[in-house]
């Protein structure tokens, strides 16, 4: 099926306003189906969940648990393996704290050079507990170098945590192969799915022990995210938060925790978030993840062509659009910098040969092309690439080729 992004756009009320939104890697826009589902929940079903036995509360609990089941089905997992969290960041931080008790001084964690701060800082935190963090190198095009990855495994590497898709390079990592190597090494394998679950067909497999992703990047509301964990591992992990509704029984001497996932959801959960995320999953399923992937690849093909043909652009990541997900990060060389910054607020310093990415983004923004600039929460990666940040165009099911063309045209207007 060819995707009709024009009719899809009609489902997104925000596009009444006239702009080109190329920042879906930061957060996606929301269709009215998601907004309505949240409204319907509050208008007809709201009560606290898992606590009370009157009918309204039972209905609310049922809706909350149905949402969990829908999210679980979406990735091929079981309901009890899905813990609702705030976002990917919270899920990865939870793991860092919960897994601390399983790690010892001298143990090692292997991640890659391309990680987002959310899959970097929680592991670096453990260095103060005597655990060493190692980095798999990248090849020239920004793929994880599998030979280097393999050579860095070893008996001390107890945990491997990798992003599935890089939010800077767009690289789709071969997590099947990398996960297999991690498991052969008997390491816990964690996947940061923040940029993949919204964009690619995905099924959980046996090599993945934990997976984190965010609802707001996949058409759902902000404030809801998911930690998937293999049930046996979740059973074995201590809760990070303590409080209401996560215990079977408490006395002043003894606590008996609930089973997962409830044991990890202390306090009143984000029920509206779960409902909204479930509606987002329904929306994505209706369009079809294969269709979304191929639509984004078409836009990616065009973006790469345009980047290649613009002599002022230096872009990062694989040159083959099939190896990438729906984004491109780049810098723009300047022909006439002084003229460009006249009238712009940020007037950031020019770094070497490039126009500062904030200046480019502000210029584009003035033309209603909305794109991210800066480090994209991956500062070490940009330093590794030898550049001081970049501009990122990231697209989704509601964007079309014309918008990509228009965005690159606007870049051309900078270098006149």
Ligand X SMILES: Cc1ncc(COP(=O)(O)O)c(C=O)c1O
Active site positions, annotated: 377
- Contact predicate 86/93, CB 8 Å: no
Among the listed ranges 45-53, 54-62, 85-93, 102-110, the one in contact with ligand X (CB under 6 A) is: 85-93
Nearer to ligand X, 70 or 87 (CB): 87
Q: Which of 29, 61, 70, 119 is in the footprint of ligand X by CB under 6 A?
A: 119
Nearer to ligand X, 88 or 185 (CB): 88
Cβ atoms < 10 Å from Cβ of 177: 14
What is the C-alpha separation between 102 and 233, in angstroms, rounded?
A: 11
The pattern of x and - marking residues 288 through 317 that bind ligand X according to CB under 6 A reads ------------------------------
Among the listed ranges 175-183, 190-198, 316-324, 346-354, the one in contact with ligand X (CB under 6 A) is: 190-198
Q: Is 214 in the site for ligand X (CB under 6 A)?
A: yes
What is the C-alpha separation between 259 and 262, in angstroms, rounded?
A: 6
Q: Is 96 in the site for ligand X (CB under 6 A)?
A: no
Per-residue DSSP letter, 324: B
The pattern of x and - marking residues 375 through 394 that bind ligand X according to CB under 6 A reads --x-----------------
Q: Is 194 in the site for ligand X (CB under 6 A)?
A: yes
Whose CA is closest to 64, among 43, 77, 39, 45?
Answer: 45
What is the C-alpha separation between 287 and 344, in angstroms, rounded?
A: 40
Instruction: Please report, for residues 131, 278, 281, 336, 371, the alpha-carbon distance to residue 390 in angstroms, rounded to integers and kept in the order given.
Output: 32, 34, 31, 18, 10
Q: Measure CA 167 to chain center.
A: 8
Q: What is the closest distance, in whole angstroms, from the C-beta atom of residue 392 to ligand X in the complex?
A: 10
Nearer to ligand X, 60 or 377 (CB): 377
The pattern of x and - marking residues 154 through 173 that bind ligand X according to CB under 6 A reads ---------x---x------
3-state secondary structure of 99: helix
Instruction: Please report, for residues 69, 84, 89, 226, 231, the alpha-carbon distance to residue 77 in angstroms, rounded to integers and kept in the order given.
Output: 9, 14, 21, 12, 10
How big is the site for ligand X, counted in residues (CB under 6 A)? 13
Q: Are strands 108-112 and 132-136 parallel, antiparallel or unpaired?
A: parallel
Q: Is 89 in the site for ligand X (CB under 6 A)?
A: yes
Among the listed ranges 50-58, 83-91, 100-108, 200-208, the one in contact with ligand X (CB under 6 A) is: 83-91
Q: Is 192 in the site for ligand X (CB under 6 A)?
A: yes
Q: Is 88 in the site for ligand X (CB under 6 A)?
A: yes
Q: What is the closest distance, in whole angstroms, from the C-beta atom of residue 409 to ligand X in the complex?
A: 27
Q: Are strands 82-85 and 225-229 parallel, antiparallel or unpaired?
A: antiparallel
Please return the burial class of 249, using the count of CB atoms within 10 Å of its CB with bins 0-12, 13-18 and 19+. exposed
The answer to whether the peptide bond before residue 217 is cis (omega within 30 degrees of 0) is no
Q: What is the closest distance, in whole angstroms, from the C-beta atom of residue 232 to ligand X in the complex?
A: 26
Contacts for 259 with CB less than 8 Å, ≥ 6 apart: 80, 235
* Residues at the interface with ligand X (CB under 6 A): 87-89, 116, 118-119, 163, 167, 192, 194-195, 214, 377
């Amino acid at each position: 099926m060819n995707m009709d992004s024009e009719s899809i756009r009609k489902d997104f009320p925000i596009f009444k306003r006239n702009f080109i939104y190329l920042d879906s890697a930061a957060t996606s826009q929301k269709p009215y189906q998601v907004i309505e589902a949240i409204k319907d929940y509050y208008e007809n079903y709201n009560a606290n969940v898992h606590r009370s036995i009157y009918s309204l509360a039972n209905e609310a609990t049922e809706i909350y648990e149905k949402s969990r089941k829908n999210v679980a089905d979406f990735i091929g997992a079981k309901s009890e393996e899905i813990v609702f969290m705030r976002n990917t960041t919270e899920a990865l931080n939870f793991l860092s704290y919960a897994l601390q008790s399983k790690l010892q001084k001298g143990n090692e964690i292997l991640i890659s050079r391309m990680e987002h701060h959310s899959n970097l800082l929680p592991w670096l935190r453990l260095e103060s507990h005597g655990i060493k963090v190692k980095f798999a190198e990248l090849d020239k095009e920004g793929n994880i170098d599998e030979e280097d990855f393999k050579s860095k495994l070893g008996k001390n590497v107890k945990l491997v945590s990798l992003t599935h898709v890089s939010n800077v390079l767009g690289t789709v990592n071969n997590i099947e192969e990398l996960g297999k190597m991690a498991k052969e090494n008997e390491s816990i394998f964690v996947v940061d799915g923040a940029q993949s679950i919204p964009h690619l067909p995905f099924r959980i497999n046996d090599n993945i022990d934990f997976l984190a992703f965010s609802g707001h990047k996949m058409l759902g509301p902000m404030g809801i995210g998911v930690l998937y964990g293999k049930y046996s591992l979740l059973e074995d992990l201590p809760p990070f938060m303590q409080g209401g509704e996560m215990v079977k029984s408490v006395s002043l001497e003894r606590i008996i925790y609930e089973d997962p996932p409830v044991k990890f959801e202390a306090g009143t959960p984000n029920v509206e978030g779960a409902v909204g995320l479930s509606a987002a999953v329904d929306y994505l399923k209706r369009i079809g993840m294969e269709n979304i992937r191929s639509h984004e690849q078409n836009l990616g093909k065009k973006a790469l062509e345009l980047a290649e043909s613009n002599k002022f652009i230096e872009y990062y990541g694989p040159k083959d659009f099939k190896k990438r997900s729906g984004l491109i990060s780049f810098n723009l060389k300047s022909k006439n910098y002084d003229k460009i910054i006249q009238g712009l607020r940020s007037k950031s310093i020019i770094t070497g040969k490039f126009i500062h990415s904030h200046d480019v983004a502000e210029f584009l923004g003035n033309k209603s092309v909305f794109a991210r600039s800066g480090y994209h929460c991956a500062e070490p990666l940009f330093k590794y690439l030898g550049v001081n940040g970049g501009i990122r165009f990231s697209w989704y099911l509601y964007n079309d080729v014309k918008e990509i063309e228009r965005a690159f045209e606007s870049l051309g207007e900078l270098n006149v």
